[in-house]
Structure 1
Amino acid sequence: MAVEAPEQASMWHVMIYRGTRRGETAGLGWTEVYDKAAEIEINTQLTEVEYEVEEGDPKSEVSTRRVPLDDEGMRLLREHRARQRRERLRLGPAWVDSGRVWTRPDGSALRPSWIGDEFERHGRAAGLPPIRLHDLRHVAATLMLAAGIDLKVVQETLGHSSWVVTRDTYTSVLPELARSAAEATVALVPRRKTPGRWVFSMGIEVSRQGGSNP
């Protein structure tokens, strides 16, 4: 899905690759962006109750977490910060200083529901089948698992209550990834196949019957 909205690029990048929830995304403030450490801290979320936006703690205690960002994510955030500062100077007194990373054009905080509506709008414009915003968390998890990231790290990144929740959620994905990991592990060792035995480049010959000759 290509989005022609530069001011949103960093937001979608974080949600797709780091799996932040929409309330966490809307609630992220610049004081929780650590440039040198290349990470963000999730310690606030915005929720809507009868169309009123309320600020509160994340979904659970473990949802309060620090999330590392990749180089591209940090680059997009820096560009977004510079763009936001220019807009703040342009608007002057009309700028609403919410302190949030992603805001409305006047600087006011985003509604979590707006993020969902915007995602649906971009999806329709791209001609994609219906995709829920929450599915981006599944995308983030699957990408991390496919990259060989430890299950515990994936759990901590997503803010799941335990790695068991992560494991159970992605039960259908893990076996395939495990097989891929097995193939990748074997591929690390150069070898040649000869009749009756496998010959490894490390100098150990292993027969098909399991015997070995140092």
Structure 2
Amino acid sequence: MFAAIEQRGAEIRTAKSSPDADVRASVHRVRPCGPSTRQRIRAALRKAINDALAEELIVGVTNPATLVRTPADRPLPIVWEPERVERWKTTGEVPGPIMVWTEQLLVRFLDHAAEHDPDLYPLFHLMAYRGPRRGEACGLRDAEVRLGRREVTINNQIAVHGHTIRQKPPKSRAGNRDVTFDADTAAVLTAYRARRAAQRLAAGPAWPDTGLFFVRPNGHPWHPNLVTQRFLKVVRRAGLPPIRLHDLRHDLRHGAATIALAAGIDIKVVSDQLGHTTTTLTRDTYQSVTKDLHRKAADAVAERIRSRRGEAL
């Protein structure tokens, strides 16, 4: 089965690079099965066969899923440092599959979005500051936003199946969480709620009751793919180096985590904010890109040794 998955992935990649437009169209919006998905498939198979063995539905065999080795390496995020941005401007080269903006680039994006896409700016702001996933932001329930206490509860998301959307719980138990936010974010969300109230008043009976906090100007839910398209449009028009928004294991989510760690926030707090099941994932994925933390650690060690050498002299 895994050999077939790998073969199909190779076929998709070949078709996407084909000079034949019809062949490329045949795999439009089709992606190869990545390492993380293969890990989840293997885990599901291993659990199913173990259950079958425990219930004696099958006997006298070794679980074959335990013998399968699948690629496990996740690409680590790379920061858009000035040298990389200059090379991208010259060559169009993107250094890796997951890129992260610096604080300065993130500020440029938010300023541009506030001016040129006010309908989605509040959603982008919340994602940038507090790091909910794309589907979690789109599925945020209005009743779970408590502006007075500066807190939201993440217990719903909008998932995409093909082009169809449906609401469902977060991807894991840790995904159900309370997220606190700052006074600036509270002001942005308060202004958005007032703007939405005016739109609802203008729409009258045609306004649908979705129960969602972030909705389109006509009151309907945001399709996560449309949010990504609008995000990429803002990025392109602002002249910023590209990052991905999709399912926010990516990008603004990476930026939010990276900036929080750089600000000295405890990694357990950041992990809880992002809905990770363990701090190991947070540490492995994000802390490796925060060079300022390593510089500060190096400076602290050097300063301590310097002070002791001074005492000895």
Structure having the larger proportion of residues in helix? 2
Q: 1:118/1:82 Cα in 2 relative to 1: closer, same or farther (>3 Å)?
A: same
Is the Cα–Cα contact under 8 Å of residues 261 and 287 in structure 2 kept in the other structure?
no
Instruction: For residue 147 of structure 1, report the CA deviation from its aligned partner.
Output: 0.4
Is the Cα–Cα contact under 8 Å of residues 148 and 181 in structure 1 kept in the other structure?
no
TM-superposition CA deviations, 1:155-185 (whole Å, max 9, x none)? 0011111101111112423564143256479
1-structure distance, mates of 2:301, 2:205: 59
Instruction: For residue 8 of structure 1, report the CA deviation from its aligned partner.
Output: 2.1
1-structure distance, mates of 2:300, 2:204: 56
Matched residue pairs, number?
A: 196
TM-superposition CA deviations, 1:115-167 (whole Å, max 9, x none)? 11111111111122321012111100110011000010110011111101111
Which residue does 2:235 correspond to in 1? 123
TM-superposition CA deviations, 1:39-91 (whole Å, max 9, x none)? 11100011111221111110111011111111110001000000100111111
Question: What is the aligned counterpart of 1:45 among 139, 157, 162?
Answer: 157
Between stretches 55-64 and 2-11, larger displacement belongs to: 2-11
Instruction: For residue 186 of structure 1, report the CA deviation from its aligned partner.
Output: 9.5
Matches within 5 A, 1:21-36: 21-36=133-148
Which residue does 1:155 correspond to in 2? 271
Q: Which has the higher contact order (CA 8 A, sep 6+)?
A: 1
1-structure distance, mates of 2:312, 2:153: 52
The SS at the match of 1:84 is: helix
Q: What TM-score, normalized to structure 2? A: 0.58
Q: What TM-score, normalized to structure 1? A: 0.83
Between stretches 76-85 and 32-41, larger displacement belongs to: 32-41
Matches within 5 A, 1:1-214: 1=109, 2-3=112-113, 4-133=116-245, 134-174=250-290, 176-180=292-296, 183=299, 208=310, 210=312
Percent identity between matched residues is 43
The SS at the match of 1:7 is: coil
The SS at the match of 1:127 is: coil
What stretches of structure 1 of length at least 5 have no aligned partner?
A: 188-196, 199-205
What root-mean-square deviation, in Å, do the aligned CA atoms of Structure 1 and Structure 2 show? Answer: 2.4
TM-superposition CA deviations, 1:163-210 (whole Å, max 9, x none)? 0111111242356414325647999xxxxxxxxx95xxxxxxx66354
Structure having the larger proportion of residues in strand? 1
